[in-house]
Structure 1
């Protein structure tokens, strides 16, 4: 089979489109013919081995897993003897970040607890966009943010992968949602249901006097003190993405602020799980969430997809498509 392989840390230039051995499923695994995958920030962080602490889990000097890609969608081709939930022909999607990665390939094996069935009303590219970004948004809002109907919720970095899901998920919970994005994404933000849109090139939401019950920061560069000022007296701030400075502020200062006042501030480390993925599948099936896809790249151009994602201007998700017509002769 063809796959995107990297043998050393570096820029997207180190990625190679090459022939590798097709995997065989273990007793508790499913073999999936991949139709689509999605690129995430985690892919380029792992590719570069940066921040360095990542290498404690991914290989100190060179990567342990040679094929990136966590978000996948495809069709079950074979199952191990202990697999109970799936059978050949099932259309599935899932998050492989907890079971070896490997999604940027024509085939991949995964544990059955990393997968759920694809909703019939969604195509493979749409569902491939969901696992990492969708579940991150869900856990940030519901678990860390304790979202409630009628709350004023602000999503910073609302036009990105996590942000576009967060806006729609917050609306599904009955919140009044404000999305913060750049000028070019204002119309898109309204189209996915944001009640209010702030163009950060024209207005600083931390200085306009408005306060919010819940702020989810999926991107951005404001100091934690600025977010604190924009919170209501018992408000909650959750950081799911942003600069390294923001991450360390949320990790180090967030707990102290939370202990010394009524406002709660911290960061979220998304934990993949089948229940949350199934919940996202229900939202997709009900039409409450529709994935926003910015660009699609064929598998052989995965390096270009990651370069584009690294620039930080993607509107929604970046999808990797795997050609199905005579795929093995690519």
Structure 2
């Protein structure tokens, strides 16, 4: 089978398209013929080995997961003898970040808990855009942010992969949503149902009189003090993406701010969760959420996909097509 492989941390130039032996499913695993995959921030961490703390999980001196790729969508080709949830022919999608990655390949064998049945109203290409970004947005808003109906929610970085899902999920949960993005992305937020859209190039959200119950920071370089000013007295701030400085502030200053007042400041890392992915499927099939795809690349163009993703201007998701028919 064809797969993307890399042997050392660094730039997208280290990625190589090569031939590997097609895997066989173990007793609890599902063999999936992959039709599409997508690029996420986690893929970039895996490729570069930065921040360096990530190497304690991914390999100190060289990557232990040599085939990158977390999100996949495809068809079940075979199942191990202990698999109970799937059978050959099922159309599935999933997040492989918790079980060895490997999605940038024509086939992958993974534990059944990493997968869910693909939403019937999505193509494989669309479905591959959902798992990591969609579940990140869901866990940040619902689990960390404890979002409630009627709350005012601010999403910074609302036009990217996680942000476009966050806008739609927050609306589906009954919130009044304000999204922050660049000028060219304002219309995207409106089409996704955002109640208000702020152009960060023209306006500083922290100087507005409007205060928010929940702020989700997905991208950008704003200091934690700016988010604190924009929160209501008992509001919650959740960081799920952004610069290294933002993460340090959230981890160091966030707990102190939370202890000395009523505002809660925290960060979160997405965790692969089958139940959350099934919940995303329900939202998608109900027409409440849809993936936004910026560009797609062939498997042989994964290096180009990474370079485009690194620029940080993608409107929604960057997708990799593995099988040309899909």
* TM-score (normalised: structure 1): 0.98
* Aligned counterpart, 1:275: 275
CA–CA separation in structure 1 for the residues paired with 2:172 and 2:293: 20
SS at match of 1:168: helix
Query: Is 1:174 matched up with 2:174?
Result: yes
* Aligned counterpart, 1:152: 152
CA–CA separation in structure 2 for the residues paired with 1:268 and 1:207: 26
Deviation at 1:208, TM superposition (A): 1.5
Deviation at 1:66, TM superposition (A): 0.7
**1:124-145 Cα deviation digits (max 9, x unpaired):** 1111111111000001000110
CA–CA separation in structure 2 for the residues paired with 1:85 and 1:270: 24
* Aligned counterpart, 2:137: 137
Q: CA RMSD in A?
A: 0.9
Map residues 15-54 of structure 1 onto 2, 5 A cutoff.
15-54=15-54
CA–CA separation in structure 2 for the residues paired with 1:53 and 1:221: 21
* Aligned counterpart, 1:90: 90
Query: Is 1:299 matched up with 2:309?
Result: no
Deviation at 1:188, TM superposition (A): 0.7
* Aligned counterpart, 1:199: 199
CA–CA separation in structure 2 for the residues paired with 1:154 and 1:260: 23
SS at match of 1:57: helix
* Aligned counterpart, 1:6: 6
Query: Is 1:234 matched up with 2:219?
Result: no
CA–CA separation in structure 2 for the residues paired with 1:45 and 1:114: 20
**1:261-294 Cα deviation digits (max 9, x unpaired):** 0000000111111110000010010010000000
**1:169-211 Cα deviation digits (max 9, x unpaired):** 0000010000000000011110000000000010010112211
Deviation at 1:101, TM superposition (A): 0.3
* Aligned counterpart, 2:244: 244
Deviation at 1:323, TM superposition (A): 2.2
SS at match of 1:88: coil
CA–CA separation in structure 2 for the residues paired with 1:218 and 1:184: 18
* TM-score (normalised: structure 2): 0.99
- Provide structure 1 residue ranges, at least 5 long, that are not aligned to the other structure: none
**1:118-165 Cα deviation digits (max 9, x unpaired):** 111111111111111100000100011010011000000000000000
**1:69-106 Cα deviation digits (max 9, x unpaired):** 01000000000010011000000000000111000000
Figure out how many residues of one structure are paired with residues of the other and give that number: 326
Deviation at 1:324, TM superposition (A): 4.7
CA–CA separation in structure 2 for the residues paired with 1:125 and 1:204: 36
- Provide structure 2 residue ranges, at least 5 long, that are not aligned to the other structure: none
CA–CA separation in structure 2 for the residues paired with 1:65 and 1:272: 17
CA–CA separation in structure 2 for the residues paired with 1:119 and 1:61: 39
* Alpha-carbon contact 2:34-2:323 (below 8 Å) kept: no
CA–CA separation in structure 2 for the residues paired with 1:246 and 1:119: 35
The farther-off stretch of 57-66 and 178-187 is 57-66
* Aligned counterpart, 1:165: 165
* Alpha-carbon contact 2:4-2:16 (below 8 Å) kept: yes
